Amino acid sequence: MVQVATLRVVQRILTLGTLAAAAAFLPGCIIVANGYSDSPQYTETRTVRVPVNAGTGVDVRTRNGNVEVHAGAGSEAVVVATLRARTQQRLDETKVVADAASGTLNVRVEWPDGRPQSGEGCSFKIDAPAPQGVHVDTSNGKIALRDTSGLAILDTSNGSIRVINHAGEVQADSSNGGIDIRDASGPVEAITSNGRIELMNVGGRAVAHTSNGSITAHLAESSTGPVQLRSSNGPIDVALGAAFAGELKASTSNGSVRLNSPATVTNMVSGRSATLQFGSGGAASSVMTSNASVSITATSAAQQAVGGR
């Protein structure tokens, strides 16, 4: 069943330039500057309610907007959309559509002429009962998940990504935005540029790549790894649990490798690289940066350094 929002709260937003020109004639006007004010804007908030079963997946596609997906109660998904359009006519003709007929809650915006004009966009806040499997694709906006499960595929540009308490795998991709993932029980992959990455209490494999930011990766005690962590201009802080296993190579060009563990490291030249063996077996791990230091903390007493250079 397709639901189209009917509840509307309309607000016209004047740009800074427009207000400046009219300030002498319009005392008391309110400016809303939200980054999309290259022309007069019209906004509208719509609420859509769709009956769904617990565990239904969520798929959201939008542009120039934030997306939040949270676990909610009841037997329906509540979608709150905030639209921005260049004219009142375009706002009136734009549709927010939510459809769960396929077994997945698909949330879309249908713009006049099939696409948004410059500066137009839509943000979503979605509460759904125990969402399992979340796919979000946006641009120029943040993504936030809480209390979700299954495979989460999150893609944005010019925006941050934050995930809290996710039971499953997370794949997060951004540019010009930080990534913060906490309490994910499955593997995590976080890719960004010009942003910090924080992975806390990760239950599986941890992969993190950034160019201009730091990386913090703390695995859960039960995680066997591996980790693949790489930054160009940022420090890397790694904490490994008792279950972690395998060979780990750590290196930096203009910094130091610091170890806080029972391991004995041999032949470390200038403290810039080392190879550690944790337990027996396990996949290969690597931690690399260029212009900063690497810090490795391990709680396992079963580790042994097998070489450094």
What is the full per-residue pLDDT of the chain (309 aa) written as tens digits? 445 444 443 343 333 343 333 333 333 333 344 443 455 489 999 999 999 999 999 999 999 999 999 999 999 999 999 999 999 999 999 999 999 999 999 999 999 999 999 999 999 999 999 999 999 999 999 999 999 999 999 999 999 999 999 999 999 999 899 999 999 999 999 999 889 999 999 999 999 999 889 999 999 999 999 999 999 889 999 999 989 999 899 999 888 998 886 544 444 556 788 888 888 788 999 999 988 999 999 875 334 433 444
pLDDT for the residue 301: 39
Structural domain boundaries, residue 6: 1-140
Q: Identify whether residues 246 and 283 lie together within a single domain.
A: yes
Q: Identify whether residues 175 and 48 lie together within a single domain.
A: no
Q: Identify whether residues 122 and 181 lie together within a single domain.
A: no
**Total domain count for the chain?**
2
Token duo for residue 80: 């709150």
Q: Identify whether residues 112 and 235 lie together within a single domain.
A: no
Token duo for residue 99: 């459809």
Does 153 map to a domain? no
Q: Strand pairing of 179-184 and 170-173?
A: unpaired
Does 150 map to a domain? no
Q: Identify whether residues 111 and 58 lie together within a single domain.
A: yes
Does 254 map to a domain? yes
Distance of CA 124 to the CA centre of its chain: 15
Does 145 map to a domain? no
Q: Identify whether residues 172 and 135 lie together within a single domain.
A: no
Residue pointed to by tokens 């009142």: 88
Residue pointed to by tokens 């790694």: 238
Q: Identify whether residues 175 and 229 lie together within a single domain.
A: yes
Does 155 map to a domain? no
Instruction: Name the E strands within 14-55.
Output: 41-51
End position of a domain, from candidates 80, 105, 140? 140
| CA separation, residue 160 to residues 4, 49, 137, 175, 294 (Å) | 29, 27, 13, 8, 24
Q: Residue 67 in contact with residue 121, Cβ under 8 Å?
A: no
| CA separation, residue 205 to residues 147, 232, 277 (Å) | 20, 21, 17
Q: Identify whether residues 228 and 182 lie together within a single domain.
A: yes
End position of a domain, from candidates 81, 109, 140? 140
Q: Decide: helix, strand or coil at residue 88.
A: helix
Range 26-34 contact pairs with CB under 8 angstroms and sequence separation of 24 or more: 34/84
End position of a domain, from candidates 140, 171, 199? 140
Please tell me what DSSP assigns to residue 116. P
- Distance between CA atoms of residues 193 and 176, nearest Å: 6
Q: Residue 37 in contact with residue 16, Cβ under 8 Å?
A: yes
Contact partners, residue 251, CB within 8 Å, separation at least 6? 257, 272, 273, 274, 287, 288, 294
Q: Identify whether residues 26 and 122 lie together within a single domain.
A: yes
Does 148 map to a domain? no
Q: Identify whether residues 104 and 208 lie together within a single domain.
A: no
Does 266 map to a domain? yes
Which residues share a beta bridge with 184? 166
Q: Find the length of the chain.
A: 309
User: How many CB atoms sit inside 10 A of residue 63's CB?
Assistant: 16
Does 152 map to a domain? no
pLDDT for the residue 306: 39
Q: Identify whether residues 193 and 108 lie together within a single domain.
A: no
Instruction: Name the E strands within 18-142.
Output: 41-51, 57-61, 67-72, 76-85, 95-99, 104-110, 121-129, 132-137
In angstroms and rounded to an integer, the radius of gyration of the C-alpha atoms of the chain is 24
Q: Strand pairing of 273-278 and 246-252?
A: antiparallel
Q: Identify whether residues 124 and 218 lie together within a single domain.
A: no
